[in-house]
Amino acid sequence: MKTLFTTICLCWVSVVNAAPSFQIPARAPTQTASGREGIVVSNSSIASQIGADVLADGGNAVDAAIATGFALAVTWPEAGNIGGGGFMMVAPPENDVVCIEYRETAPVSVTADSLANWTNRHHERMVGVPGTVAGFWLAHQKYGKSDWKRLVEPAVALANKGIIVDDYLAYSLNGYLIKSDIRSDDRYAEFRRVYGPPHKQFWEVGDRLTQPDLGRTLALIAEQGEKVFYQGLIADQIVDQMRSGDGWITKEDLKKYRAKHRPAIHGNIRGYDFYGAPLPSSGGTTVLMELRMLDALDIKKDEQHFWSANHVHLMTEVMRRAFRERAAYLGDADFVEINPSVWSEKHARTLVKNINPQQATPSEEIAGDIEIAAGPYESPQTTHFSVIDKDGMGVSNTYTLEASFGSGIVVKGAGFLLNNEMGDFNPIPGRTDTIGRIGTKPNLMAPGNGCSVPNRRSSLNKMAR
C-alpha cells in the first residue's frame, strides 16, 4: 500500500519584517545529513548533523528527532524552541502511525473574551503553556532507545560554545532587534541582552552567538527530564517572568500540562494511505478534506496540466471550502464535539457540487452564517524537520513559537523565548476575518484549551490571493 506520511500542518517558513536598509538574503536550502543509519532533514545543517550522529550511535528516528529539535532551539531561534509547542508524527515500521501532540494550552484563568481589547502580541499575556519539552519527553518514553541525556547534551554544548552567525540569521536577528518596541521597551531588555550583538549595533556574518543561559537550562533538562521544566527551577523562572510582566501562566498551569499520544487522522485516496496530525491540529483534517474533494472532482491527468490555470483554479476552490469547514467545525477535540462526517467522502462530494470550473466563488458566498470582517496581513512562521532511520521508522515534526521569535519575551536567566500562541484563539467571539481569525465557538479561548494549529490563520480566501 502506498503511503503519504506527514504532519501536514500547512506551515510556512519564517519571514521577519526588517528595515528596508537590510537586504533579504536567500533563504538557506533545506539542510540534510545522512548516512547508512538514516537521514535527517531540517532548516539547520548543525541540527541535522546532530540528529544524524544520534542515528550513527544506534538511536532511532524518534531519538534523532528529539536531538534535532533541541538543537534547533539553539540554531534557529525564530522558530526552534523549548518555549513553544507542536506535533510529532511517528510511523513505526510495523505499527500504526501516531501523533505526539504537544500544543500549547490556554492558562486556566482565561475566558473567551480575555483578549477582546488586547493588541500587544509581544507580551506575557500572549503566552500559552509551553509543550515542547513534555512532547519530546513523551515521545522518548514511548519510542526512544537512546539515553535521554545523550539527546539533549549536544544542544547544551552548542549553546555554550556558540554558533557562527550566517547571513540569514544576521538578517533575522537584526530585523527583529530594530522593531520599535523590541528596541526600546524594558519588557524586551532580556531579548536584547541574549540576542543582541556584542559590542556593536548589528550582527554581521561570521559573528559568534553564544547562549550560556540557554545552555544551563538545557543542562537541567538533560539531567532531570521534563519535571524540571514543569515543576522545578525552570517552572519557577517561567512563573516569575509571568508575574513581572502581568502574564497568566501559573505554577499550577505548568504542573497540569500533559502532552498527548493520539492516533493519526487517516484516509485512503486513490490507493494512497494518507496520515496527518489529528485535532487540535486542523492541518491533517483540512488536507484530508481537500484530497477527498479533489478525488470527488475526478480530474483526469489529460484534462489538467499540473499548475495550469485550470489546475490552480480548482485547487483554490477546494481550499476555500475546506477552510470554511475548518472555521465552522474544527477545534480541540478535548473541548469540542466534532462530527467525523466533516471529512467523509460523502461530505466532500456535497462540497464540490457548486464549484464553477470557469469562475471563482467569493469566499463570502460560501461562508454561510460565518460573518467575515477585514483583517491585516500576517507573516508566516514555524519550522519542520523529518527523520527516517535504517529500520524504516519515520518521524515528521512541526513546532513553532507562533510568530517569528514568538512573544519576544525571553525568560529571565533561562535564555529561551516564549511563544505568543494565545493569538491562535480569536480574541473577539463571533468575529471571523480575512486573515483567518476564526470567531466560531470551536476556536474560542477556554481554560486548558489547546491552542489551535500553526496554520490557524489560514483564511477562507488566503489561497485565492
Q: What digits encode the pLDDT tens for the residues 194-220? A: 999 988 899 999 999 999 999 999 999
In this predicted structure, the answer to whether residue 154 has a pLDDT above a threshold of 90 is yes
32 in catalytic set = no
68 neighbors 50 (Cβ within 8 angstroms): yes
Q: How many CA atoms lie within 13 A of 238 on its CB side?
A: 29
Residue 170: inside a domain, yes or no?
yes
Nine cell digits for residue 79: 522558530
Helix (H, G, I), strand (E, B) or coil at 33: strand
Residue whose entry in the numeric block shows the C-alpha cell 526588517: 18
State the Cα–Cα distance between residues 302 and 388, nearest whole angstrom.
Answer: 35
Q: What percent of the chain has pLDDT over 70?
A: 82
Per the structure, the count of domains in the chain is: 1
Nine cell digits for residue 368: 454561510
- The candidate with the shortest Cα–Cα distance to 387, out of 399, 395, 377, 379, is 395
Residue 248: inside a domain, yes or no?
yes
Which member of 132, 382, 383, 432 is catalytic? 382
Mean of pLDDT over the chain? 85
State the Cα–Cα distance between residues 53 and 64, nearest whole angstrom.
Answer: 8
State the Cα–Cα distance between residues 90 and 83, nearest whole angstrom.
Answer: 22
In this predicted structure, the answer to whether residue 99 has a pLDDT above a threshold of 50 is yes
122 neighbors 188 (Cβ within 8 angstroms): yes
Neighbours of 15 (CB within 10 A): 15
Residue 123: inside a domain, yes or no?
yes
The domain of 174 spans 2-262+378-424
| Distance (Å) of CA 218 to CA 40, 297, 384 | 22, 50, 21
175 neighbors 231 (Cβ within 8 angstroms): no
- What are the b/e assignments for 137-166, b being 16+ CB within 10 Å? bbbbeebbebebebbbbbbbebbbeebebb
In this predicted structure, the answer to whether residue 453 has a pLDDT above a threshold of 50 is no
User: What pTM was estimated for this model as a whole?
Assistant: 0.83
Residue 27: inside a domain, yes or no?
yes
State the pLDDT at residue 458. Answer: 32
Dihedral, 138, 144, 147, 148 alpha carbons, nearest 10: -30
Residue 153: inside a domain, yes or no?
yes
Residue 78: inside a domain, yes or no?
yes
Would you place residue 23 in the very low, low, confident or very high pLDDT band (cuts 50, 70, 90)? low
Residue 274: inside a domain, yes or no?
no
Strand-pair category, 208-209 with 85-91: unpaired
Neighbours of 175 (CB within 10 A): 21
Nine cell digits for residue 2: 502506498
State the Cα–Cα distance between residues 294 and 9, nearest whole angstrom.
Answer: 19
Residue 201: inside a domain, yes or no?
yes
State the pLDDT at residue 462. Answer: 28
State the pLDDT at residue 185. Answer: 94
